[in-house]
Structure 1
Amino acid sequence: MQRTFRGRTAGSALAALLVASALAGCGQADDAGPGTTIPPTDPPAGGDEMVTPSPPATEQGGGSADPAGWTIDDGELGPLEIGDDFAETLAALPAGEWTQLESCEWVASYQGAGEAYSLWFARESGSASGPITTIAVEGGVDAAGAGPRTDDGGLGLGSTREEVLAEFSGAEESASSIPARSFLRVADDDDDDGALYFVFSEDTEGAYSVVLTTNEEPPYEVCA
C-alpha cells in the first residue's frame, strides 16, 4: 500500500526513510518474480526422503513416487505387477532411474542413491520379450527395515520368521536348492500372481530378500 507524506518536518522525513527502507527490502524479495519457486535447502542428513533427479517423478503404485514407499500385495510391488509386459512396465518408469544391462537384458534394476536396498524385476531369460515373472527387493544386514513393505503387517527386509508367521499363519517353510538358503512361502489365492517368498540365510535372523515369483523358487543369481 502506498503512503503519501506531506511537509518536511523531521518526523515526516524519518517516517519516509523507514518506509523507503521497507520497500527496498520488499523489492529484493520480489526479484525472483511472480510464480518462481525458491529451491528448498537440503534435508538434514539421515532423512528418509530420497531426492530424485529431474524430470520430477509422479506418484506410482503404493502412494509414493519413491520406491521405498511402495507396497507389496497380490502379485504387485508398487507399479510392478507379475504378468504385466516387461517392456511396457520399464517404459513407464522414470527415465534414468532403472538399469538394464545388455548382458542381462531380461532384468531391470533400481538402486537408490545412498540406499541399502535394491529392486529388480525380470522376465524369462530365454525370451526376447514377455511378461514379468519375478519381482524382488534385496538388501544386506544394513537394509533391515528399509525398502517396500507388505500391505499386510508391514513386513519386508529384516523381518524374522516369527514375524512372518504371525502375519501369515499359512506360510510354509521351504528348503532351497542353494545351500544355506531357505524360504517362507506365502501362497496367493490367484495362481497368476505367483507366490510371496521371504528369503533367509543361515547367517541372518531377518529376511535379506522378499520376492514375488511364478517360479518354483526365487532365482539365486538372476543374471547368471
Structure 2
Amino acid sequence: MNQVDLRLYGIVDPERTGSRNPVELARQAVAGGATIVQYRDKHADGRHLVELARDLKAALEGTGVPLLINDRVDVALAAKADGVHLGQDDMHPEDARALLGRCAIIGVTLKTPEQADAMANMPVDYGCVGGVFATVSKNNPDPPIGLDGLRKVLSRARLANRGPVGAIAGIDASNAQAVIAAGADGIAIISALFMAADPQAEARRLRDIVDRALTSQENFA
C-alpha cells in the first residue's frame, strides 16, 4: 500500500468555490495545511476535466501534496495525477490499479459495514466513510449515518487493514473534533474549506483541530 495522509483532505469542486478560481483555492488550502487534494466535477466534459486537473497538478508541484481525481481514471491518466478516488459504482479498484500502476493512490468510498469488509480484498490505499452528516455539496439519497454509524463502519474498515480511513459530508470546524474522536484518521472537506472567505486560514484552523484531536487519541490509547 502507498502511504496516504488523510488528516485534511480538501475536495475541490467548481460548484462549491463561490465562483473563485479552483486552482488558486487549492494553493491556499495546501498553504494552510491540507494534506491531500481531490478534484471533483460531476458535470464538466472530459477535455475540461483534464485541463483543470493538469493546472491543479502543476499548482501542487513541489508541495508534496498529492492530487487525486474523483471517479475518472481516464482523467487521472491523461493529467498524470497521483491517483483516484472511487465510489461504489465507479470502476472497480482492481481495474483502476491495473491501469494506473502500483504507485498510484487509490481510495474508495465506504457507506456500510459490508463495504468496509469488502475493502480487505481490494488494492486500495485508504477508505473514506460517508456521508456522516447532512451536506449541500452532493445529492445523497441515503440519510446521514451520524457518529454512531461512522464508528460502526470504521471498526470494520480497521479489520480490513487497507490503510487509513477518513470521513466525509457535512464536516466543519464545529464537528471535526468529534469525527476524529469517533476514530477517523482525517476529514474530507468541501464547502467548509473552499467556500470559506479565507481558505488558507480555514485550512489552518481545521488542521489544528484535527492534529490536536489525533494527539488526544494517541495519549488516550
Q: TM-score range by the shorter chain?
A: under 0.3
TM-score by length of 2: 0.25
The structure whose RCO (Cα within 8 Å, separation 6+) is larger is 2
**Which structure dedicates a bigger proportion of its chain to helix?**
2
TM-score by length of 1: 0.25
